[in-house]
Chains A and B, each alone.
Chain A
Amino acid sequence: MDAIVIVGAGESGTRAAFALREAGYAGTVTLVGVEPHLPYERPPLSKPENGAVTMKALCSSQALLDAGVTYLHGVGATALDAGRRAVTLSDGRALAYDKLLLATGARPRKLACKGAERALDFRTYDDAKAVLSGVDTSRSVAIIGGGLIGMELAAVLRGKGLAVSVIEAAPKPLGRAVPSHFAARLHSRHSEEGVHFHLGQGVSEIRHNTVLLADGTSVPADVVVAAIGVQPEIALAEAAGLATGNGILTDAFLRTSDPDIFAAGDCVAVEQYGGGHVRFESWRNARAQAETAARNMAGAVEPFAAIPWFWSDQYDLVLQVAGLPQPDHQCVMRALPTGELAFYLDDGRLVAAASLGVGNSLAKDMKLSEMLIAASVRPDPAVLADPGVNLKALLKNAKAA
């Protein structure tokens, strides 16, 4: 009998388990996850409703049962023998596979300063519970790292009335994934909401109730959260001799350097059409790669080609970015009553779009922008900038042409 083992029961591994069945795979499917819970979604952890952490399960145990997926939780895969096609688990068991999916995700980068052990991570449900229950009895929080998760958390904690400081080594927050125009908008919104920023600052030490910065400033903090980014979880792959870099390296079909081992989600650096490997860290990517990998493991030969997309919720604002906007793209802004939409053109071709607006008010326009990107349109910038021009009409014209 055919056997597929999936290591990592996060968004990607869990989605893949179901997608294998949807693709008609009839062998055994074993999903191995080191966390004790049912598989759950991470995005809600930093967007808690009413300030309380919620565990949003990805599926019920009944759904796993119905799909014939054996879910081993609370056990880690500790070794991989690619030659013998077997995975060793932390409880001593060995699982043989015909095909293996690595969906091991990513783990928080660790601070290196003195007192780093005082800082709390923010990646898992248990992390979120520790942070949000810790702040219930405190007045001030310092968040080290002004990336998406740090800024989402800052918004939530301001909502709870805490004094919030964000400490960021770069001169501006959100510099990595967010186009600068929108990063600046969000930065000023956080300042208006009363978040204290310490920018261009390293941390020299974390002490009881204070964070000491490189320039000698001391930032009051009953609770300290480290949100300085993540590292792909590649240990298992590396030890097994698979090709790795900034992630487990795969070809466009999400196959690793061993043809029987595939990988999906935050742990993957996937080969690009133009050369090089890129790693994505987003919810939709984790699902989309899981679906492509599962179909390929079930026998398809399908390159992974989804347009990258992520969102972030901060206060009442929703940020969305589709594609990979670059500073050298031509940027065309469209102002709308509830926010702004930006289009990015590369040599005249629409390649990316981003929006920042109240609630879901710009979701429709972003979806249409994604479809326009997929259709490789070369729109007139004046038309894109004109809020009176309906993007759906533009798409229909592009399809008719």
Chain B
Amino acid sequence: MSWVSACQLDDIEQEGAIRFDHGGRTYAIYRGPDDRVYCTAGLCTHEAVHLADGLVMDFEVECPKHSGAFDYRTGEAIRLPACENLKTYPAEVVDGEVRVAVN
């Protein structure tokens, strides 16, 4: 597993998400209400819509297009029309820096 530096923790608002592009792929990185960070594939599994534009409430991200929703800790699809789970990737904060293992 190799870690890549994505951003600073302060770049993400609490209960918020940002987009992270790396190696030709796109991801969403979330900062939970627990102040931990999480990383999932960036695009909704229903249509290719970026989840970083979605509303984050508790541990749920809602797709900005049709309100499908996912638990971003596990990637589980929890509301239709999204029915396929999202891929998740390890994420951590080291000295205020967010790192993800997306390779």
| Contact residues of A between 307 and 321, Cβ < 8 Å to B | 311
Chain B window 75-96, contacts with chain A (Cβ cutoff 8 Å), 1 for yes, 0 for no: 0000011000000000000000
A367 within 8 A of B: yes
Interface bracket on A: 10 to 19
Which residue of B53, B66, B80, B81 contacts A364 across the interface (Cβ within 8 Å)? B53
CB distance from A59 to the nearest CB of B (A): 9
Q: How far is the CA of A364 from the CA of B17 in the complex (A)?
A: 11
Which residue of B15, B49, B62, B80 contacts A367 across the interface (Cβ within 8 Å)? B62
Q: How far is the CA of A290 from the CA of B43 in the complex (A)?
A: 27
Q: A367-B55, A392-B15 are in contact. List 18 more A-B contacts (CB 8 A).
A: A283-B66, A284-B66, A284-B67, A287-B80, A287-B81, A359-B53, A360-B49, A360-B50, A360-B54, A363-B53, A363-B54, A363-B64, A364-B53, A364-B55, A367-B62, A367-B64, A367-B67, A368-B55
Mark B residues whose CB is within 8 Å of A.
15, 49-50, 53-55, 57, 62, 64-67, 80-81
**Closest A residue, CB atoms, query B51:** A360
A interface majority secondary structure: helix
Provide a sorted-by-A list of 6 A–B residue pairs whose CB atoms are within 8 angstroms: A283-B66, A361-B53, A363-B55, A363-B64, A364-B54, A367-B64
Chain A residues with CB below 8 A from B55, complex form: 363-364, 367-368
CB distance from A106 to the nearest CB of B (A): 20
Mark A residues whose CB is within 8 Å of B.
283-284, 287, 311, 359-361, 363-364, 367-368, 392
Question: Which 8 residue pairs of A and B lie closest in terms of their CB atoms, listed nearest first?
Answer: A363-B64, A360-B64, A360-B53, A364-B55, A367-B55, A363-B53, A367-B62, A361-B53
Q: Given that A367-B55, A392-B15 are contacting pairs, would A360 and B67 also be in contact in the complex, using a CB cutoff of 8 Å?
A: no
CB distance from A47 to the nearest CB of B (A): 10
| Among A359, A363, A368, residue most surrounded by chain B Cβ atoms (within 10 Å) | A363
Q: How far is the CA of A392 from the CA of B81 in the complex (A)?
A: 24
Chain B residues with CB below 8 A from A284, complex form: 66-67
Q: How far is the CA of A287 from the CA of B15 in the complex (A)?
A: 28
Q: How far is the CA of A363 from the CA of B53 in the complex (A)?
A: 7
**Closest A residue, CB atoms, query B49:** A360
Q: How far is the CA of A148 from the CA of B57 in the complex (A)?
A: 31
Q: How far is the CA of A12 from the CA of B62 in the complex (A)?
A: 22
| Among B49, B50, B64, residue most surrounded by chain A Cβ atoms (within 10 Å) | B64
Chain B residues with CB below 8 A from A368, complex form: 55
Chain B residues with CB below 8 A from A392, complex form: 15, 57
CB distance from A307 to the nearest CB of B (A): 12
Q: How far is the CA of A363 from the CA of B15 in the complex (A)?
A: 16
Q: How far is the CA of A392 from the CA of B80 in the complex (A)?
A: 23
Chain B residues with CB below 8 A from A287, complex form: 80-81
CB distance from A356 to the nearest CB of B (A): 15
**Closest B residue, CB atoms, query A291:** B80
Q: How far is the CA of A364 from the CA of B65 in the complex (A)?
A: 10
| Among A287, A367, A368, residue most surrounded by chain B Cβ atoms (within 10 Å) | A367
Q: How far is the CA of A360 from the CA of B15 in the complex (A)?
A: 18
Chain A residues with CB below 8 A from B64, complex form: 360, 363-364, 367
Q: How far is the CA of A392 from the CA of B55 in the complex (A)?
A: 10
Chain A residues with CB below 8 A from B57, complex form: 392
